[in-house]
Amino acid sequence: MIVGAPDAGDTAWLLTSTALVLLMTPGLAFFYGGMVRSKSVLNMMMMSLSAIAVVWLLWLAFGFSMVFGDNVIGGWIGNPLQFAGFEGLLGGVYTSAAGTVSIPLVGTVPALVFAAFQAGFAMVTVALISGAVADRMRFVPWVLFAALWSTLAYFPVAHWVFSLDGLTSEFGGWITNKLGAIDFAGGTAVEINAGVAGLVLALVVGKRRGWPRDPMRPHNLPAVMLGAGLLWFGWFGFNAGSSLAADGVAAVALVNTMGTGAMSMAAWLVVEKLRDGHATSFGAASGVVAGLVAITPSCTAVTPIGAAAIGIASGALCALAIGLKYRFGYDDSLDVVGVHLVGGIVGTLMIGLVASAQMPAGVDGLLYGGGLHQLCVQAVAVAAVFAYCAVVTTGIAFAIKAVMGVRADAQHEADGLDEHEHAESAYDFGVSHGGSNKPGLFGK
């Protein structure tokens, strides 16, 4: 890792992006919390927020090192001891009377800021999975699942995708460096990874009692829309921040992130209107997220016109894909599969179709005269992450189920998980007696 003086502008942008990415997990808590029934909203939000604590502990101990350390075990992971406890990211001269600074850097930014930025990616990826098992998974098994899945699924796949040769270590992951797949900010490592895990976990935990017979409508649509807005806001840090510099690459990523979210929302609403006769606020929020998912891998590979095409495709296809759970009988409570898995696949594969060599990634897709090579490469990356995550998640889920169980008690599920898992209620519907606690003329 190089040592030197950080660039002030790049560092300021990555500090800002780190805060934006961290905001995405509380934003997701609002997004998911509004979707569930009122009796389990706190449990849903806690499943998202707990990912912050679980992931940070692992990230500090060995997670960052597993992702960004030198290849070990045939390149499956990075060396978990190389940067353990952020060793190697500390030290140097931070301040001096002469004004000189010389600290560990990743590119032109402090290595510590880079580590914090990437921690946010891991946190929101784990939190995404929880939406597939809303209303029925116990909290303690969820926390254990989050820890094991981060270690065995996310960290290895993130190493394959995010660890560029020479970035923090001499040799990095195979998907980016050897296969040559393009995944700028995590279409495979974040979106497909979380989507597959959500599908597997939903199958292992089982369906909600009464689904799909009983209506299970979102209890707070304003919270859903607030969550979508916070996610969109944070996604600018997620995508444009991945440039690690305040430069033209970040500008391309930012513009494409804005445009794809907008076009995906429009496409989702058109599908809703044609299919159901109504364009809904819930559909608008879901459409935005579907587009953001799809542009995550491709934001520096496509022009704004290509980004619009990805937005239209992801919005329409994800709107249709959420109906698959009724056809195939899996209870993906909050459409993690329909939005994140399908959206991640669409965005990753469409690089092979609409990428343009005039953009920072420097690759032409099939429609720009680049042939089928990049599309095949992208497909291999999708298949590899899908298969690996499915196998690992299945093993983790069944192991936890065998040891301690994962499903809430039937009565607890009926009453709501907020009361039984957290001894709290999101809303107090008790009758108020005014501002005074003293009895009136006729008592209280």
State the DSSP string of 3-30. Answer: EEPPPHHHHHHHHHHHHHHHHHHHHHHH
Q: How far apart are CA 182 and CA 359, in angstroms?
A: 12
CA angle 96, 100, 106 (to 5 degrees): 115
Find tokens 């600074």 and name the residue.
101
pLDDT at 430: 60
Find tokens 């010389």 and name the residue.
102
| Overall pTM surpassing 0.85 (yes/no) | yes
Q: How far apart are CA 221 and CA 353, in angstroms?
A: 36
The set of residues, in sequence order, having a beta carbon less than 8 Å from that of 366 and lying 6+ positions away, is 352, 353, 372, 374, 375
Q: State both tokens at 222.
A: 């304003």
Tally of helices (H runs) and strands (E runs) in the chain: 18, 5
Neighbouring CB atoms inside 10 A of 439's CB total 9
Question: Is 47 in contact with 140 (CB distance < 8 Å)?
Answer: no
pLDDT at 444: 40
**Which ranges constitute the DSSP H helices of 300-416?**
304-321, 324-328, 336, 342-354, 373-404, 410-415
pLDDT tens-digit series, residues 244-273: 999 999 999 999 999 999 999 999 999 999
Find tokens 């800021």 and name the residue.
113
Q: How far apart are CA 233 and CA 23, in angstroms?
A: 9
Stretches in the chain below the pLDDT threshold 70: 97, 429-444
